[in-house]
Amino acid sequence: MNSPLPLTIQEKHHAKRVFLIVLDSFGVGAEPDAPLFGDVGTNTLGAIAGHPNFRGDNLARLGMFNLDGVTCGTPAAAPIGSYARLREASAGKDTTIGHWEIAGLLSAEPLPTFPDGFPQELLDAFTAKTGYKVLCNKPYSGTDVIRDYGEEHMKTGALIVYTSADSVFQIAANEAIVPVEKLYEICAQARELLTGKYGVGRVIARPFVGDCAANFTRTPRRHDYSLVPPHDTMLDAILAAGKQTIGVGKIHDIFAGKGIGETIRTSGNTEGLQVTLELADRDFEGLAFVNLVDFDMLYGHRRDIAATPPLLPSSTTGCPALWQKCARVTS
């Protein structure tokens, strides 16, 4: 059961616009219910802060190392931002549940996960609907699964279907075998099937390129097919108040477009921040909701510590410019 939080738009002493930026999969410590999801001891910041390439100067200035429970790094003597460590109130642990809660929609029940793979009856229905057979059907790292099953996929034409700890049904296909638009069509068909007890939060298209396991690479043409939020969120309230809502990155996909007035898709963190800086130069009233996906898509699920630290400064380089641009828009 999902329940909406009370949503109101204050007309006095309000900010003209808000930039809400999510560093997807960048956490600062495990929640008390982490054992339910196999996440005991998880702490992205703690894991990468000791790496020699780690730099987080801009986030440190905002107060990242002043957060309760953060024991790495040096707290700022005078943080320039307001800061707080928050605990998710919803049941579940995935992109959909988390972003819905940010937008004011609480979920009392977690979305279904499939740690042993999907039931055969569902896969049979998928094959009957799409005409494609299935490979893998296990929880898997997205980069590992194309390495291990990509060549068989290219030989047989069967689709690589896999899941993760999140509530997802993921379909990987080589763009030379299944064109991207066809993969999107297949995912839309899968979304129609995945309801009720099989109602995962997202069906995800995972296209990749390459001609052998040694060079298979995922492309930025990923596309998510989410459940529609069962109630209005702050996005709907903002639109109803006559303001703008702009979704950057995969925000449109997470909310299935509900409450999103404008969508700007991006290829990764660098483009996401560039788009955000451009929006800061635009005169609008409302919300720019930004998801920076690389922490999650490229490194988080793989727990690739060595690759993540260099990503952090590249994803926050635009912060000072953004602060300056936003400083002049309050009213």
In which element (H, E) is residue 287 found?
strand 286-292
CATH of the domain at 17: 3.40.720.10
H/E stretch holding 102? helix 95-102
Mean pLDDT, rounded, for 287-309: 73
Q: According to the 3-state scheme, what is the secondary structure of 15-45?
A: ECEEEEEEECCCCCCCCCCHHHHCCCCCCHH
Say yes or no: 107 and 239 in one domain. yes
Asked if residue 220 and residue 233 are part of one domain, the reply reads no
Q: How far apart are the first and last CA of the chain?
A: 38
- Retrieve residue 160's tokens: 């690589």
Tell me the torsion sign for CA atoms 293, 294, 299, 305.
negative
Same structural domain, 249 and 101: yes
Residue 15 lies in a domain: yes
Q: Which pTM value belongs to this model?
A: 0.84
Convert the pLDDT of each residue in 111-159 to its tens digit: 999 999 999 999 999 999 999 999 999 999 999 999 999 999 999 999 9
Question: What are the CA-CA distances from residue 226 to residues 72, 147, 241, 250 (Å)?
Answer: 36, 26, 25, 10
Q: Is residue 331 part of a domain?
A: no
Per-residue 3-state assignment (H helix, E strand, C coil) for 143-187: HHHHHHHHHHHHHHCCEEEEECCCCEEEEEEECCCCCHHHHHHHH
DSSP 247: E
Given 226, 244, 266, the domain boundary residue is 226
Q: What is the CATH number of the domain that holds 128?
A: 3.30.70.1250
pLDDT band at 330 (very low <50, low <70, confident <90, very high): very low
Number of independent structural domains in the chain: 2
pLDDT band at 331 (very low <50, low <70, confident <90, very high): very low
- On whether both 9 and 61 belong to a single domain, the answer is yes
Alpha helices in the chain (DSSP H): 44-48, 57-62, 95-102, 120-130, 142-156, 180-193, 234-240, 251-254, 269-280, 294, 308-316, 319-326
Residue 56 domain-assigned?
yes
232 vs 214: CA distance, rounded Å: 46
Of the segments 40-54, 119-133, 269-283, which one has the largest average pLDDT value? Answer: 119-133
Instruction: Convert the pLDDT of each residue in 164-182 to its tens digit.
Output: 988 999 999 999 999 999 9
Q: In this structure, are 301 and 244 located in the same domain? A: yes
Q: 9 and 157: one domain? A: no
What pLDDT score does 277 carry?
94
- For Cα atoms 98, 247, 18, give the angle at the middle one, nearest 5 degrees: 85
For the segment 236-269, what is each residue's pLDDT rounded down to a tens digit? 999 999 999 999 999 999 999 999 999 999 988 8
Q: What is the tens place of the pLDDT at every residue in 190-210?
A: 999 999 999 999 999 999 999
Q: Are 298 and 267 in contact (CB under 8 A)?
A: no
Q: What are phi and psi of 307, to 5 degrees?
A: -85, -25
Residue 211 domain flag: yes
Q: Which range among 92-101, 125-134, 167-176, 313-322 shows the weakest confidence by mean pLDDT? A: 313-322
In a domain, 134, yes or no: yes
Find the domain containing 132 and state its range.
120-226
